[in-house]
């Protein structure tokens, strides 16, 4: 299960990505914000990421204006590896090597076409494991 959320600056792109998920019959949960009114991305990030760490969803998509603020906030939640991506190479390798569980994007940075390609790449790429598992474990150790 995927969970997708944004602040006001990412709201329009969130709607485009949701349309894409629906066209591909990918199940998702929509979280805040539910309209284009100003809201605070740290709260959106926390509430959405907690739905991943409690097992409600496996992966998340978070969108703010730049993608930066929401990724900083998401990475404060224990167990979250959020990756801000602007191209498909980043989306692919953050799955292969970092086992990222949240894709962050900037609604004021990329258009819907590029964003949907990032989403597809992120969702379709499996973690490679092996030596990368050790490094992901080392990231988890920092949280202890």
At 19 the three-state DSSP class reads helix
d(CA 23, CA 19): 6
Please check whether residue 39 is in contact with residue 33, taking contact to mean a CB–CB distance below 8 angstroms.
yes
Interface with ligand RB5, residue 7, by CB under 6 A: yes
Residue nearest to ligand RB5 (CB): 69
CA distance 122 to 118: 6
Instruction: Give the Cα separation of 127 and 129 in Å (integer).
Output: 6
Out of 9, 17, 80, 84, name the contact with ligand RB5 by CB under 6 A: 9
Per CB under 6 A, the list member of 26, 68, 96, 136 interacting with ligand RB5 is: 68
CB of 18 to ligand RB5, least distance (A): 18
**Closer residue to ligand RB5 in complex, CB, 77/99:** 77
Binding site for ligand RB5 (CB under 6 A): 7, 9, 41, 64-66, 68-69
């Amino acid at each position: 299960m995927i969970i997708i959320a944004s602040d006001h600056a990412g709201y329009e792109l969130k709607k485009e990505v949701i349309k894409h998920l629906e066209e591909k019959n990918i199940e998702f949960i929509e979280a805040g914000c539910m309209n284009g009114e100003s809201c605070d991305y740290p709260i959106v990030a926390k509430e959405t990421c907690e739905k991943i760490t409690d097992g409600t969803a496996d992966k998340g998509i978070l969108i703010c204006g730049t993608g930066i603020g929401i990724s900083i906030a998401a990475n404060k939640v224990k167990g979250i590896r959020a990756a801000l991506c602007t191209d498909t190479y980043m989306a692919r390798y953050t799955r292969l090597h970092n086992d990222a569980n949240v894709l962050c994007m900037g609604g004021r940075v990329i258009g819907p076409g590029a964003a949907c390609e990032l989403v597809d790449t992120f969702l379709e790429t499996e973690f490679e494991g092996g030596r990368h598992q050790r490094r992901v474990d080392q990231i988890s150790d920092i949280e202890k």
